[in-house]
Amino acid sequence: MDSYVYRRRMISHESDERVKNDFSQLKSTKYEIARMINTRPQDIENFKKFKNQLYQLEKECKTLERNIAYHIPDSYLENIQNIEGHDEIQARLPPNSAVIEFLKYSSINLKKKTSHALKPRYAVFILRSDVDLKLVDLGSASEIDDLIKKTIQEIEDGELIPSTLERLSDKILTPISSLIDKKQHLFVIPDASLNILPIGILVSDGKYLIEKTRITYLTSSRDLLKNNGYETQNQTDPIIIADPDYDLVDKNDHSNQISTINHQRVFSEPLDPFERLEGTRVEGKKVHSIIGGELWLGANALESRLKNIHSPKILHIASHGYYLPENQTNNSHSLFRCGFVLAGVNSFLRGLPLPTEAEDGIVTAYEVTELDLKSTDLVVLSACETGLGDNIAGEGVFGFRRSFVLTGAKTLVMSLWSIPDEETKELMVSFYSNLKSGMEIAEALQKAQLSIKNKHPHPCSWGAFILQGISSKVI
């Protein structure tokens, strides 16, 4: 993943037009692959021809990637590989902070004749600048996974039982509390089911963890080694997308025919038409009044416009998001099963004609990977369930959390469950006001969450948002 991001940044400086053309062709090829993968079997006239065409596109994609890789050096990765152990990471830790890296593992008892792995467990590595690396066993993974699932379900139902959260906190937080106590900033690297748990909602000594410390999520501890030399000279003005016109139709189409892209995307379960989120228009206007830039509302919140942006300093998207879990009828890659929606999505779902610029009004995580955000400081997904994806132990979350990293965006703020519209609006206005006052991103989010908690104590209203990436001042 480091190599992919690095090469995308290098391409912007590449003088060889062939490399730039190859990259442009690669984007187009990937979009076509995405379209074909989501074609329904009954809409394929000649399966053999279809399969061969898909094979040729994937082959072309690999060829283009090899050509690009050949011309772009891996000097960044060479520097990463020269790092010995965790000493360099420890030396780069900010004062009064700690890294907590979770691991789900299965061990084998070598004393027994059988090679069957023991039941999975969780462990956590604690890295601080003032003590040696510590490893703490957290116990049975199945017990912790069950408690996480139960806790999240109770929160989403608005019926969180304090004893459930306390039991989960005792499993995860209590064993490491002495090692992280009084630390002002925690860098969290989750694994498996811990990816869907915002650790800030855990409790200790009668307080939520978010009340005691700032929290930043990382994809790996190596993120701390990335210098702050992100490109800023190519940044464009902030872009705020809010209150898309989900019912947008092509008023110039009088054919009464269904959309020609009606069957280009297939879901494991039908997506229902999306209801307008009126609060996002107010949210968008208030965020715009704080940070300036471009404001895309209603019919202007178009998918094609989004795909043609070039590294806005801040990208804020206030709309519906969704995540479809894998099942027997839908085993496609996670990046195809999560998305957010823009103008025209309801018309697409109903088979109505759409303006060309609206495309289908659905932006999947796969399509996100090809956005140009290599110089973007901050992406905020003010939408439901945008932090979710498939959990693969040791591999992080495959969804928006992975796709936006691949775009090169420096920092991402997203949610792990559905949040009430009004509370989201209040939290976002508070968040950007904090940024405007000079706070770093992690502190700005923490203060915003606590301000909402004071008005709406239930974690459902404030606990879902997490920050992934590098915390710095952006305004």
Q: How far is CA 200 from CA 126, 147, 162, 370, in A?
A: 17, 16, 15, 31
Answer whether 305's CB lies under 8 Å from 371's CB: no
* β-strand partners of 333: none
Q: What is the pLDDT of residue 91?
A: 85
Res. 8: pLDDT tops 50: yes
Highest mean pLDDT among 56-60, 257-261, 346-350: 346-350
Quote the CA–CA distance of 181 and 172 in Å, as a whole number: 14
What mean pLDDT comes out for the span 64-76? 57
Q: What is the pLDDT of residue 303?
A: 95
Quote the CA–CA distance of 260 and 258 in Å, as a whole number: 6
The closest of 381, 408, 317 to 12, measured between CA atoms, is 408
Res. 387: pLDDT tops 50: yes
Answer whether 264's CB lies under 8 Å from 351's CB: no
pLDDT band at 241 (very low <50, low <70, confident <90, very high): very high
Answer whether 381's CB lies under 8 Å from 400's CB: yes
Query: 3-class DSSP state for residue 74?
Result: coil
Q: What is the pLDDT of residue 75?
A: 40
Q: What is the pLDDT of residue 92?
A: 84
The closest of 340, 235, 323, 237 to 280, measured between CA atoms, is 340
Q: What is the pLDDT of residues 269-285, one digit of tens each?
A: 457 889 988 889 999 99
Q: What is the pLDDT of residue 38?
A: 55
pLDDT band at 77 (very low <50, low <70, confident <90, very high): very low
Quote the CA–CA distance of 263 and 273 in Å, as a whole number: 16
Dihedral of alpha carbons 304, 34, 5, 20, sign: negative
Which is more confident, 22 or 180? Answer: 180
CB-based burial, 144-156: b 16+ in 10 Å, e otherwise: bbebbebbbebbb
Across all residues in the chain, what is the average pLDDT? 81
Res. 171: pLDDT tops 90: yes
Q: What is the pTM of this model?
A: 0.81
Dihedral of alpha carbons 240, 38, 394, 11, sign: negative
Q: How far is CA 70 from CA 64, 65, 66, in A?
A: 10, 9, 6
